[in-house]
Each structure stands twice: as structure tokens, then as C-alpha cells.
Structure 1
Amino acid sequence: MFGHEVIYFSHLPMFDVPHNYQVLLEVGLDDDVREAIRAHRHAFPEEPYDTFDPVPFPMAELDPAESGPKRTSLTGNIFCGHFERRAKGKRPLAPDVEVRIERIVRFTKLDVNAHATGDGTLEYLCFGHGGRLYLAHAISRWPSFDQVLEVHAVPGTATNQMGEPLPDDAETMDKFFREHFTTADPYDIGGRSDDPDHRLTSREVADGSFFGTAPPSGFHGFNVKLEAEREVYLEVGELAGPMH
């Protein structure tokens, strides 16, 4: 879990049933839980996040397709750091928490038989609002990696697909990035392989494209540079492939 005013959950995926889902949620927490998270002194610098250990439930209940999702809340414990690695014998930061599911930002079922062929290009999922923007690595085939970055758009770098500056002014584009990405849009970084060694890193500036996203001026897709402010989460080993 991560975020500031807006809180997000990112499911910890694997290429094994029943964990073969990439899911991003915008969630709601009661004020006392928010205060407990905000006030605690984080004990694990290498894991600058908290995790939520839910009462087990079928992931398919979060599928927004058709009349979904069927599930509107989750119950569980919040732990400092990675709960599977840190929670043994530890008291939760916030026990028996009820979490409201405000929005399904992304829901993808992973094909456990989809093996990478080495020709994939690096793609992220861009989401956020309320002044914060994030990239999550788009997971499709194994081996892969799970990564979340906090980013911002570099002012003055938005162009159409021909490389020409967009007619939208800086204020319009800033508002667009603050309000548009309530659900995740693909952000493609051409010329980079889809593997952990070529991932974005903190303070790096990516030169990528939103091929399917229309800017305020109405062009079909646009290019923009995104700068990674910090890496929120990274996991490689659990996405190396099926364990069976």
C-alpha cells in the first residue's frame, strides 16, 4: 500500500494460481487508520511501504467487468514493510481494518503459460490524481518484475506523435495530469527491453508515449517525459515464472 492523500493497494502478483492477477485499487481508510499509518516510524528503509494482509477472498470478485466488482470492501491487518517477510511474531500496525474499495484502477488476470520471447518493450501503467502520479510496470509474461514508481510529468515536453509541441498550455496539461489518470493508462518506453535490468530508476527521466490517451487538445496519443521521483516497490524473484 502506498500514497499520500489518495491511498492505493497494489496486489503482490505471481505466475501461479490463485495469485495470477495484477490489480491496482484506490481505497478508503478511516481517519484513525490513516493517522496510525502517517504517524508510525518506518522500521525498514529497504521497504519504504506498508502492506495489507487481507482475510482470504477470490480475486475475481474485484473484476470490474459487466456488473462488477462484486466486492466493495476488504478486511485485514496492516503491517510495516512486507507482511510475508516481516510480520512473523510482529503485531500489526493497524489490526482488523476495514478497507473501502473506491475504484478499480487496473484489473488484469495473468496467463501463467505466457512466457516472454525477448522481443517485448518496456511498458508501464500510469495512474494517480490529487497531485500525485505513479507508474506500475505492466506485467504480461514471465519472467517479469513488479515495480511501482512515483513520478511527475516534465513541463514543456508534451508533443504529438510527430514530435510537434502540443497547443495545450502548461496549466492545462498540469490539470490534465492531476485529473485524468484515475484509472491506469499504458505508457510505452520505446527502445528498452521489458526486463528488470532496463527498468526505470529513481531520478531517471523516461521519454515515452501514451499511444491510446488523448490530451486536452484531442490528438490521438501523445509523447511526454516522466521523471521518476522515487521507487516505491520492486520485486523480481516472485515473477520469475510458475513454481509448479
Structure 2
Amino acid sequence: MSHHHGQDHDHDHPDPEPEDPTGTTGRHGMLVFGRDVIYFSHLAMYHVPHNYQAVFEVDPDDGVRERIRSHRHAIPQEPYDTFDPVPFPMAEIDPAGSGPRRTSIRGNLYCGHFERRARGTEPLARDIEVRIERVARFTELDVNAQATGDGPLEYLCFGHGDRLYLAHAIGGWPNFDQILEVHAVPGTATNRMGEPLPDDASTMERFFREHFTTADPFDVIGRSDDPDHRLVSHEVVGGSFLATSPPSGIHGFRVQLAADREVYLEIGELAHPMG
């Protein structure tokens, strides 16, 4: 099943916006997750214009936020919501882009995966506008790049407040898209030589609550980057933040992260380029 690029649209949306010099306009379906802080994660594919890994913080109005928090998920295997937007240029999300920045997107909110619902399924919320607050990650995927399989298993760590997440860093195909809710195991942070950090426990706890408003790479020690070696719920793994400085200012550190639950996993859609 191919995502959000076919002609079989429903007719809940107005016509797409005109004129897109970037060539990135599309019906960019989004995973929706979070509680106090709500995130969208673009449902990426190896197919232009959907070849982007983008995770960003959003601010829906209070009624929509409460609906996201409180509704029961109809399908236990899909413990998330999705957002089916009016087509828009994905390049306008890029915080490093040269064009105008997009401040909101409009569309319908669904329980579970909007493209896997039976026809006629009612949205949780229809034709809503969601403000874009902060982009945690924006990366263009090379649709021609094949995975080598010899690199470390790499995730992107983001979140603040009461939740911390890992998103698998999508590289060449075949690949997988995965979001996990995690927490740092207290007392396990060391420098890159394995020596305990000089930062005390409360300092590190505050660091993990406040630092990751944008995503930092986290390499899992001793694992190759393929779906068979991915993290699973309730697993504890050691890994390295090679480019992240803890409060003491040491460059790079290691820590154990515990996977509390898997929010989302997609393997098949990223197995090969869509032609």
C-alpha cells in the first residue's frame, strides 16, 4: 500500500494551494503522538515529494489537544493518531530553508492510520488548523541511496517535559520508520571512556527534560542498523550521544536508555523506492 501520493483522495479538503517552486507539494500524512507536548512525524517514503524525515512540535487548539489525549484507540495495534493534511510544500517546514517558513497546516485528524481506515470512517476532528511550534528534525532522504548495513543502529532523541522519544534515523533503503517513548536510566551516564560524569543525578535529570527540543543522534552500541536489530518495548540499551555535551561540558557521552513503549513501526513502506 502506498501512502498519501495517489489520486484517490477523499473530498473533505479544498483544492491545494497554487504555485510551488520547490516541487515538494503533496498530501504529506503525519503520525501524531505525545501528551503534554504534541508531535507530528512525516510518514516518509523513497518517493518524491515524500522523501523527507521531519519531526516537529505542534500546538492544536485545546479541544483537539484534549481529544488526542483522551480518546480510546479503536485498533490496539495502532496506538497513535494520524493527520491527513491539505497538500502543501514540505520544503516550507525546513528551518534551514531559503523560502518562507510555514506556521501551520490544515487537515483532518484520525484515530489510527488514516489510509488504513474503512471508507467513510469519521475523523476525530475535521478541517482543523494546527500551528507548527518547533522543528526537531528535518532531513531529505536520497531516493537512490541503498543501505549498506555496516553502520551503527542510529536513533534521533527528542522531547522535553515529561516525555522523551527516539525516532529511527532513516537512511538508505531498505529501512524502517520507528518511534519509541524512552527514559534515561539514572546513574548510567558516563564519558566516552566509561567514567562517571561529574554531573549529579538531579542535573542530568533536568538535562534530559530540557535539552532535546531538537533531535540529537543516539548510536546504540553493538548493533547494526537494520529492522531485525531495532529496539523493542521494555528493552534497555547502552548508546552514545557522540555530538551532545552534557551539563559538565564534556563532548559526547554514553548512557542507558530504557524503551517504555513503541509508538509506531513501519517497515514495508520503506523496503524499496516507490516508482
TM-score of the alignment, normalized to the shorter chain, above 0.5:
yes
Is the Cα–Cα contact under 8 Å of residues 62 and 68 in structure 1 kept in the other structure? Answer: no
Pair 1:56-2:87 in alignment: yes
SS of the residue corresponding to residue 60 of structure 1 reads helix
TM-score, with length taken from structure 2: 0.87
Q: 1-side partners of 2:86 and 2:182: how far apart?
A: 32
What percent identity do the matched residue pairs reach? 75
SS of the residue corresponding to residue 118 of structure 1 reads coil
Structure 2: give runs of 5+ residues left out of the alignment: 1-31
Of 115, 119, 124, the match for 2:146:
115
Equivalent in the alignment of 1:37: 68
Q: 2-side partners of 1:2 and 1:37: how far apart?
A: 8
The Cα RMSD (Å) is 1.1
Q: 1:81 to 1:69 in 2, by over 3 A?
A: farther
Is the Cα–Cα contact under 8 Å of residues 63 and 69 in structure 1 kept in the other structure? Answer: no
Q: CA deviation at 1:67?
A: 5.4
Pair 1:6-2:13 in alignment: no
What is the identity, as a one-letter code, of the residue corresponding to 2:203?
T
Pair 1:143-2:171 in alignment: no
Pair 1:173-2:204 in alignment: yes
Is the Cα–Cα contact under 8 Å of residues 79 and 87 in structure 1 kept in the other structure? Answer: no
Q: How does 1:192-207 map to 2 (within 5 A)?
A: 192-207=223-238
Structure 1: give runs of 5+ residues left out of the alignment: none
Equivalent in the alignment of 1:235: 266
Equivalent in the alignment of 2:162: 131
Is the Cα–Cα contact under 8 Å of residues 104 and 131 in structure 2 kept in the other structure? Answer: yes
What is the identity, as a one-letter code, of the residue corresponding to 2:162?
G
Q: 1-side partners of 2:52 and 2:272: how far apart?
A: 14
Q: CA deviation at 1:26?
A: 0.2
Q: 2-side partners of 1:147 and 1:66: how far apart?
A: 26
Is the Cα–Cα contact under 8 Å of residues 244 and 252 in structure 2 kept in the other structure? Answer: yes
Q: CA deviation at 1:87?
A: 5.4
Q: 1-side partners of 2:165 and 2:156: how far apart?
A: 8
Equivalent in the alignment of 1:162: 193
Greater alpha carbon shift after TM alignment, 115-124 vs 177-186: 115-124
Of 251, 255, 263, the match for 1:224:
255
Q: CA deviation at 1:34?
A: 1.3
TM-score, with length taken from structure 1: 0.98
Q: 1-side partners of 2:217 and 2:100: how far apart?
A: 22
Is the Cα–Cα contact under 8 Å of residues 144 and 240 in structure 1 kept in the other structure? Answer: yes
SS of the residue corresponding to residue 102 of structure 2 reads coil
SS of the residue corresponding to residue 61 of structure 1 reads helix
Q: What's the CA shift string for 1:58-106, capped at 9, x where partnerless?
A: 1111111155662010000000000010152111001111100000110
What is the identity, as a one-letter code, of the residue corresponding to 2:274?
M
SS of the residue corresponding to residue 208 of structure 1 reads strand
Is the Cα–Cα contact under 8 Å of residues 192 and 253 in structure 2 kept in the other structure? Answer: yes
Q: 1:69 to 1:155 in 2, by over 3 A?
A: farther
Q: 1-side partners of 2:53 and 2:97: how far apart?
A: 19
Q: What's the CA shift string for 1:101-120, capped at 9, x where partnerless?
A: 00011000000011012212
Q: 1:148 to 1:68 in 2, by over 3 A?
A: farther
Q: 2-side partners of 1:46 and 1:94: how far apart?
A: 21
Larger RCO: 1 or 2 (CA < 8 Å, sep 6+): 1
Of 85, 110, 114, the match for 2:116:
85
What is the identity, as a one-letter code, of the residue corresponding to 1:229?
D
Equivalent in the alignment of 2:103: 72
Equivalent in the alignment of 2:9: none
Is the Cα–Cα contact under 8 Å of residues 74 and 111 in structure 2 kept in the other structure? Answer: yes
Of 167, 184, 192, the match for 1:153:
184
